[in-house]
Chains A and B, each alone.
Chain A
């Protein structure tokens, strides 16, 4: 089974900062990876699929990259509404990265 790890597990940054979350797969998975955002008490929301395709309606400050075993989710200018936990997924999910505002 493929295992996903995420780093960091917690991130605190200022409004306007560029933040990057990394997801690593235990074996190569080409570009078959998605990213989700989950706010407290809410269902997750699909942000990125196929590693770099922005889901319809998602702000362009979110971007995804990578292939094989290493992937990134970048928020180019962090906004207060981006406070959430972010998960990568290859059917199974990574452990999550909690993002807070400093």
Chain B
């Protein structure tokens, strides 16, 4: 059974940092791209970041570019999100999400191909407030 278990959320002051972790099990972690998706309270879904199966390709939403870093540890079957310079608008539940077939950006067409998210964790809440 595929399981994705997030941890590391909590209350942090504006300007602070936090690292989210996601422990994956039940599938061959090194074979799948992974994502972070967040949802602010009462709001819709916002894709945050993607990392390829081999860890060589990363994409970020404009809203977090330069502040967040996605990484993965194949040996530990774990996904991470390092969040710096946190703002109130980063307050959300953060989901760890498996990518069904891998996502890649095609510069010739200007859009992403294959962003299909088949397994989601239960989410971890990050609250940015003083």
User: What residues make up the interface of A, taking CB atoms closer than 8 Å to B?
Assistant: 1-2, 27, 29-30, 32, 34, 36, 38, 43-46, 49-50, 55, 85, 87, 89-96
Contact = CB atoms under 8 A, between A and B. Distances in A.
B121 A43 contact: yes
A93 B47 CA distance: 7
Contacts of A91: 47, 50, 59, 103, 111-112, 115
Contact of A38 (B45, B61, B110, B118): B45
Given A44-B120, A92-B61, 12 more contacts: A32-B112, A32-B113, A32-B115, A38-B45, A43-B123, A45-B120, A50-B116, A87-B45, A91-B111, A92-B46, A95-B44, A96-B44
Interface residues of B, number: 26
B1 interface: no
Given A43-B121, A44-B120, A91-B103, A34 B115 contact: yes
Contact of B120 (A43, A92, A93, A96): A43
Given A1-B62, A91-B47, A92-B47, A34 B95 contact: no
A34 B62 contact: no
A87 B44 contact: yes
A99 to B, nearest CB: 14
A37 B30 CA distance: 27
Contacts, number: 67
Contacts of A50: 116
Interface string B37-49: 1000000111100
A30 B59 CA distance: 21
B2 interface: no
B39 to A, nearest CB: 9
A93 B114 contact: no
A22 B91 CA distance: 29
Contacts of A89: 45, 47, 115, 117
